Amino acid sequence: MGDNVFVISAAMIPFGKYRTSSYVGLAVSPLIDAIRNAGIEKSDVDAVYVGHSYGGMMTGQRICKEIGLGTVPTVNVDNACSSGATAVHEAWQAISQGLIDVAVVIGVEKLTQFGGGTLPLSPEDREVKQGIIMPAVYAMRATRYLHDTEATPEDLALVSVKARKHGALNPFAQFRKEITVEEVLNARPIADPLTLPMCCPTGDGAAVVILASERARKRFESKPAIRVAASVLHSGHVAEGFRDMTKPEITYDSARDAYALAGIGPKDLDMIELHDAFSIAELIYYEALGLAEPGHAVDLLRDGKTTFGGDVVVNPSGGLLAKGHPVGASGVAQIAEAFWQLTDQAGARQIDDARWAMTHVTGGGTAGLDHGACTIHIFEAA
């Protein structure tokens, strides 16, 4: 890839349940804030990329018309939970190739439209036809991981405790109250061994980031910014029959490529926002991202290495477990957190002297694939 690309602004609304709002209603406010914070005009925007999975036709165009942002190409991106991050990847590609200078990326989703329950999955998928839903997938992963390692249900609970502790510091988090290991373990069971606080809440949300070329950044004389050191998008390997659910190869492969592109290793990272849709995911991804050897993720967790004051702060925002997971918005919200952390704007949850950040989000459970998509970004303070 060629030109350097920077994130020059970020905005979002607190994730939660906005039952009477529309997709447009969720996204317009952070869109206006992000453009204003960047110090740019609407006429400076060359393209708009919008990540969502359940917004329907022309969601991006319906949002942009509300502020008079028309004529520029608007691209709607659906890649399940990775939709927003995939939209950022598309914007990064266009800018780094010199095709455009400024892109607005919107991530938005309204899950309360489904009235509760688990995430709707494709009825054409043969595993879905057999009754497989996402809590069941992660419950099987957890069961196998507990069988193969020294991890315990208390460790799964400890992930949720950490998430809620971080979320308590984040005004954008859906859950802002701390919780104990005992409360997590004694909560309503969802899919053994997972209890309710070990599962991310559904909800609604929107987040916006603005990407710019180095040329545009100098033109705007902006402002806090972070450099996109790596942007990687993978689809899953097709593997019929047995596959190890505790070894998400799509994340291993994506992380390998992202580190190579950024020229750093896992020990260089100051923060990570990773896809903790269920508490077991965080432990598995410690290993896939190279933070721990296989089977030893719990050592990091128990020793406090992945919270404030540790080696790398994982999910300082509270992650999906505390912040919530409106799927199309999640990847963009992760990048907003990285922007705020690396530009010293994260308030009470600020990580001291943060220089390097990673965001990681997977998308979709599909028969024959580990996940349908995985997007990893690495950012450097500029």
Q: At what angle do helices 279-288 and 153-167 cross, to 10 degrees?
A: 90
Give the type of residue at 18.
Y
Q: Beta-carbon neighbour count of residue 78 at 10 Å?
A: 19
> Parallel, antiparallel, or unpaired for β 189-191 and 102-110?
unpaired
Q: Return phi, psi of residue 290, to 5°.
A: 85, 10
SS3 category, 339: helix
Instruction: Determine contact, residues 361/331, Cβ cutoff 8 Å.
Output: yes
Nearest to 103 by CA among 189, 213, 187: 213
Q: What is the largest CA-CA distance in the chain?
A: 57
Inter-CA distances, 247 with 284, 287, 320, 359, Å: 7, 9, 21, 19
Q: Is 81 a catalytic residue?
A: yes
Instruction: Determine contact, residues 78/134, Cβ cutoff 8 Å.
Output: no
Q: Which of 81, 199, 200, 374 is catalytic?
A: 81
Active site residues: 81
